[in-house]
Chains A and B, each alone.
Chain A
Amino acid sequence: MKQALIFGVSGQDGAYLAQLLLEKGYQVAGTSRDAQMASFGSLAALGIREQVAVHSVTLTDFRSVLTVLNTVKPDEIYHLAGQSSVGLSFDQPVETFMSIGVGTLNLLEAVRFLGAPSRFYHASSSDCFGDTGGEPATELTPFAPRSPYAVAKAAAHFEVGNYREAYNLYACNGILFNHESPLRPTRFVTRKIVAAAARIAAGSGETLRLGNIDVARDWGYAPQYVEAMWLMLQRDTPDDFVIATGHTITLRDFVAEAFAALGLDWREHVVVDPELFRPADIAVSRANPAKAERELGWKATMAPADVARAMAVHEQQEILPK
């Protein structure tokens, strides 16, 4: 039986990935900074909390990383841990780099130190590309990060590439574009939108305040994206892949779709608040996931508008009296 270890198992992707790997017959272990305190609500929501062995690990502490690798002895390592909010990274830039840049370095060093044949997946990010001027980003598109989060992710991305080339680690970067689901925390804008839409549909009468709704993103469905992570570690040679739907819509359209799915006209419930604008933001994010389809046989089947509607409907069902 194959053993997988997921760093950052308490998050959205960690939970869906754990579910996928369990279905494939893996033994799954996962880490969180404080496994005693964490509620693992996402694992619980998927009904797999008891099937995942959890360990307390802080990525910036080498001993802690080494200990869990020695205990679990994973065939496959999925590194999904790290400060994951772009907005928060402007307020906590140092912690963001510690967690992402130094954390990834520690993990790579620990794998190298142990000399075990573990395969390594790193959650890189489409934010590394910055603003490509409307050009669809591929694996060869140069990075131009525009937030402390994205700068830290770019550094981590190259750390992974460098350790692959310098020490022959089987290490891959998945450059995932935005991927959403009902498990997204509400501080992420997509979930914030559908949560508000569902409450409004139930009669809350509230107004939803959003930042810049002209931004455009390629929003995919997270449960489909974790499959791509797994596929990357099943190949003969490690490589980096862009994972996206290949379709981009504006946040305005995402809002419109989500509200429409619940029979609402978004314009009656949403105001734009310049206070919520970011110091520097990406206007349009666009992807070309052709390599993933060609070499991994992976393709997203839900486009951004599908994701908006599915999340809104799911949210509404959640708050219905049971």
Chain B
Amino acid sequence: MKAKVALITGITGQDGAYLAEMLLKKGYEVHGIKRRASLFNTQRIDHLYRDPHDTGRKFVLHYGDLSDSTNLIRIIQQVRPDELYNLAAQSHVKVSFESPEYTADVDALGTLRLLEAVRILGLEKHTRFYQASTSELYGQVAETPQTEKTPFYPRSPYAVAKLYAYWITVNYREAYGMYACNGILFNHESPMRGETFVTRKITRAMARIKLGLQDCLYLGNLSALRDWGHAKDYVEMQWLMLQQDAPDDFVIATGRQHSVRDFVKLAAAELGITIRFEGTGADEKGYDAKTGKCLVSVDPRYFRPTEVETLLGDPTKARERLGWQPRITLEEMVAEMVRSDLRDAERDSLCKSQGYAVFDLNE
């Protein structure tokens, strides 16, 4: 039997890497689209890379960009994917307030360009389409927990662009009979999460503070409540959604909720540090309970013009209809992330002690 072919946009990201790895294990031929950059951007998929000179290659990368229709049409024409996973996006909420037009171009129009490419190539009945939707759509939540029926109230240019992508995916399913699905994924993290996202920022900082590479961690809204799962669990769901008889939209979440403050405490505890929070709002600080040293401080610079205070998903439909259930707990995930960041910090510390330059990689 001929291997199934998958095409992943955003393959260099956290989800792209986990999804590619899983699909390769399932015997897929996996193609990915990466943006051209003057710096290497394929760290997360380095272990999957196959040299173009190898024969029988099952993992192929293409240069591409969601802002270029001609490029997307050509890649899809060559690859003729059975499954197309759209994970590419400007995915940072805070950045979207600074670059709203770029965010709309890539996240909203980019999705439309992909759907159009599939139609233009006459692949509507051949290619199944997965759209990475997001819990940020719920924004100022209308009810708690959020289900597939909860109305959207996007609170950032990112969320508004993703709202467009969500509905245009539904529209192409209804108008042209495409097998197209939205996965409304709540926050999902891992050691591969980008360093500027709050969870990774926390685990990385705690590890570096532990080894004396950093003094203090600056954060925004500590009281924000999120439903955090593990990316590795969530990509399985993305695949499952494309294996059903009929396309549908699903909430993917753990059904548990914690504050950013709790996440900090958990990460610190992994390193044997107890953090005591004092003060409120912009004046809140976290102290090392043993030494009294200030390790965490609020910087209003990280506040958003419109905050999303609370997100909590109800994954009942995914459990009942897809038999999906997350396996990795928050505590296990935090431990894994901290361990991984501690290793990186140890490597940096070692290099530094031997006189080699080490990047602090500030935002």
Contact = CB atoms under 8 A, between A and B. Distances in A.
A7 B168 CA distance: 26
A232 interface: no
Interface in A162-178: 162, 165-167
Nearest to B154: A158
A147 interface: yes
A97 B306 contact: no
A115 to B, nearest CB: 15
Interface stretch (B28-36, B156-164, B281-289, B340-348): B156-164
A277 to B, nearest CB: 11
Interface in A119-156: 142-148, 150-152, 154-155
B109 interface: yes
B167 interface: yes
User: 8 tightest A-B contacts by CB?
Assistant: A142-B151, A166-B305, A279-B175, A155-B164, A280-B175, A151-B167, A166-B306, A158-B160
Contact of A94 (B100, B112, B151, B152): B112
A242 B160 CA distance: 21
Given A102-B105, A105-B100, A162 B157 contact: yes
A158 B108 CA distance: 13
7 contacts: A93-B112, A97-B109, A146-B174, A148-B168, A162-B155, A162-B160, A279-B174
B164 A280 contact: no
| Chain B CB within 10 A, most for which of A90, A154, A162 | A162
Contacts of A143: 151-152, 167
Contacts of B248: none
Contact of A145 (B109, B167, B304): B167
B196 interface: no
A142 B152 contact: yes
Nearest to A145: B167
B155 to A, nearest CB: 6
Given A94-B109, A151-B168, A152-B164, 17 more contacts: A90-B175, A102-B109, A105-B100, A105-B101, A105-B104, A106-B101, A142-B152, A143-B151, A143-B167, A147-B175, A148-B168, A155-B104, A155-B164, A158-B153, A158-B154, A162-B159, A166-B306
Given A109-B101, A145-B171, A151-B171, A165 B155 contact: yes
A56 to B, nearest CB: 21
Given A97-B108, A159-B157, A154 B163 contact: yes
A151 B152 CA distance: 13
Contacts of B151: 142-143
A155 B167 CA distance: 9
Contact of A97 (B101, B112, B176, B304): B112
A22 interface: no
Contact of A166 (B97, B152, B168, B171): B97
B193 interface: no
B113 interface: yes
Nearest to B166: A151
Given A101-B104, A102-B104, A154-B163, A93 B155 contact: no
A158 B163 contact: yes
B138 to A, nearest CB: 11
Interface in A266-280: 279-280
A35 interface: no
Contact of B176 (A162, A166, A279): A279
B104 A94 contact: no
Nearest to A168: B305
Contacts of A154: 163-164, 167
A147 B157 CA distance: 21
Contacts of B109: 94, 97-98, 101-102
B155 A101 contact: no
A279 to B, nearest CB: 4
B270 interface: no
A144 B174 CA distance: 12
Interface string A45-59: 000000000000000
B82 interface: no
B268 to A, nearest CB: 32
Nearest to B175: A279
Given A93-B112, A280-B174, A155 B101 contact: no
Nearest to B115: A93
A152 B108 CA distance: 9
A231 B179 CA distance: 45
A152 B159 CA distance: 14
Contact of B157 (A93, A105, A165, A279): A105
